[in-house]
C-alpha cells in the first residue's frame, strides 16, 4: 500500500509552515483510518507494527523537520499523543524513540502508558517503539525493561517481549547483547499470562533471538527445559514451531525428546506442535525420532499426535 502523493505535498507544506493543525487536517483528508475499536481484530500471538503508510510517513516527516529542535518535537509529540483518534496517537508513539535523547523520562513514561493502553493498536506500537529505543540506547533503557518484567500488568510484560525482538542490529553481530536479552526472557519464561507466553517462545526466541544468538540461546533453552515449571517448558517446546529455529533442528529434537516425557498435556501438546513443524521442514532428521517415540511408552502418545499432522 503506497502513500498518497497528495498527502506528502500537504504534509510538507504544513510542516514547513510549522502548523500542526494543518498536518492533522492533511492526514485526515486522505488517509484511511485504522480501526479505532480497542478490541477489534486483536491477534493474540502475532506481534506487529500497526501503522499504515500515511501514519508512518507523517511520523518520519515530522521528525525530519523537527528533529534538530527538541522543544518543538516534544510539543508536537505531546499534542499527537493526546489526540482523540488512535491513528494520530500512534504517530506520536512512533515518534517517541526520536525524542528519547532529549526527554528520556517523558518518553519512558509515555511508553509505559501506551504499553498498557486499552487499545491493542497502541500496545503494539508502544512495544515496537520501546524496541527501537532499546536498540539505539541499550544501556539506558535496559534497566527499565528489567523493571517492566515485574510489572503487574501482563500488557507491560508483553511489551518487553516485543521490544527484545528489535533490540539488535540485523546488519552486524552484537554478541554482547545475547546474555542481557536472554536475562529478560529468563524473567518472563515462566510467566503464566497467555498474552506474554504466546509471543515469547514462538516469536521472540524462535524467530529472532535464536537465529541471531544461537549458542547462547540454546544453552539457555537447555536450562529452561530442566525446570519443572510447565510454562517454561511450554516456551522451550514452542520455540521449534518457528521457521527461524529449523536450522537448529538437531538441537531442537534433543530438547523435544526430553520434554515429550512430561505427562502434563499442556507441555506435551506443545512438544507435538514443535515436532510437527520440524518434521515438515526436516523429515530426514525427525522421522526416525518419531518412530522411536512411538515405541516408547512415555512418548508414544506424542508421536501419535505428530503423525496425524505430517
Every domain of the chain and the residues it spans: 1-167, 172-310
User: Would you call 213 exposed, middle or buried from its count of C-beta atoms within 10 A (0-12, 13-18, 19+)?
Assistant: buried
Cα 192–chain centre separation? 17
Query: What's the pLDDT score for residue 41?
Result: 44
Q: How far apart are CA 10 and CA 1, in angstroms?
A: 19
Query: What's the pLDDT score for residue 84?
Result: 82
Q: What is the pLDDT of residues 47-63, one digit of tens each?
A: 444 456 677 778 888 88
Domain 172-310, classified CATH 1.25.40, yes or no: yes
**221: number of Cβ within 10 Å:** 28
Query: What's the pLDDT score for residue 8?
Result: 77
pTM for this entry? 0.89
Return the axis-axis angle of helices 154-164 and 120-136, rounded to nearest 10°.
50
Query: What's the pLDDT score for residue 168?
Result: 82
Largest CA distance in the chain: 75
276, 252, 272: which is closest to 262 by C-alpha?
272
Query: What's the pLDDT score for residue 3?
Result: 54
260 DSSP 8-state letter: H
Q: What is the pLDDT of residues 255-300, one digit of tens each?
A: 999 999 999 999 999 999 999 999 999 999 999 999 999 999 999 9
Query: What's the pLDDT score for residue 65?
Result: 83
Query: What's the pLDDT score for residue 67?
Result: 76
Query: What's the pLDDT score for residue 29?
Result: 62
Query: What's the pLDDT score for residue 52?
Result: 63
Q: What is the pLDDT of residues 165-190, one digit of tens each?
A: 999 877 777 899 999 999 999 999 99
**267: number of Cβ within 10 Å:** 22
Domain 1-167, classified CATH 1.25.10, yes or no: yes
pLDDT < 50 stretches in the chain:
1, 34-38, 40-41, 43, 46-50
Query: What's the pLDDT score for residue 31?
Result: 53
Query: What's the pLDDT score for residue 51?
Result: 56
CA dihedral 175, 220, 161, 244 (to 10 degrees): 70
Query: What's the pLDDT score for residue 211?
Result: 94
Amino acid at each position: 500500500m503506497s502513500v498518497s502523493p497528495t498527502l506528502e505535498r500537504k504534509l510538507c507544506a504544513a510542516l514547513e509552515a510549522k502548523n500542526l493543525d494543518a498536518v492533522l487536517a492533511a492526514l485526515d483528508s486522505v488517509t484511511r483510518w485504522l480501526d479505532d475499536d480497542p478490541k477489534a481484530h486483536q491477534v493474540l500471538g502475532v506481534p506487529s507494527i500497526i501503522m499504515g503508510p500515511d501514519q508512518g510517513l507523517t511520523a518520519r516527516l515530522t521528525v525530519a523537520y523537527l528533529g534538530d529542535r527538541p522543544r518543538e518535537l516534544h510539543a508536537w509529540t505531546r499534542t499527537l499523543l493526546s489526540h482523540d483518534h488512535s491513528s494520530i496517537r500512534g504517530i506520536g508513539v512512533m515518534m517517541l524513540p526520536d525524542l528519547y535523547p532529549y526527554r528520556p523520562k517523558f518518553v519512558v513514561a509515555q511508553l509505559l502508558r501506551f504499553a498498557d493502553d486499552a487499545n491493542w493498536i497502541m500496545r503494539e506500537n508502544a512495544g515496537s517503539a520501546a524496541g527501537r529505543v532499546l536498540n539505539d540506547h541499550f544501556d539506558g533503557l535496559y534497566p527499565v525493561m528489567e523493571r517492566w518484567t515485574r510489572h503487574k500488568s501482563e500488557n507491560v510484560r508483553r511489551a518487553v517481549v516485543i521490544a527484545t525482538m528489535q533490540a539488535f542490529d540485523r546488519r552486524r553481530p552484537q554478541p554482547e547483547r545475547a546474555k542481557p536479552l536472554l536475562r529478560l526472557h529468563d524473567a518472563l519464561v515462566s510467566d503464566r499470562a497467555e498474552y506474554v507466553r504466546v509471543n515469547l517462545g514462538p516469536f521472540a526466541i524462535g524467530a529472532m533471538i535464536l537465529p541471531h544468538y544461537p549458542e547462547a540461546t540454546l544453552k539457555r533453552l537447555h536450562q529452561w527445559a530442566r525446570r519443572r515449571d510447565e510454562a517454561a517448558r511450554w516456551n522451550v517446546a514452542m520455540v521449534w514451531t518457528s521457521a527461524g529455529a529449523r536450522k537448529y533442528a538437531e538441537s531442537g529434537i534433543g530438547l523435544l525428546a526430553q520434554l515429550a516425557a512430561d505427562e502434563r498435556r499442556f507441555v506435551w501438546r506443545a512438544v507435538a506442535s514443535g515436532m510437527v513443524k520440524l518434521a515438515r521442514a526436516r523429515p530426514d532428521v525427525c522421522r526416525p525420532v518419531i518412530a522411536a517415540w512411538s515405541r516408547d511408552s512415555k512418548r508414544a502418545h506424542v508421536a501419535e499426535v505428530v503423525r496425524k499432522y505430517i
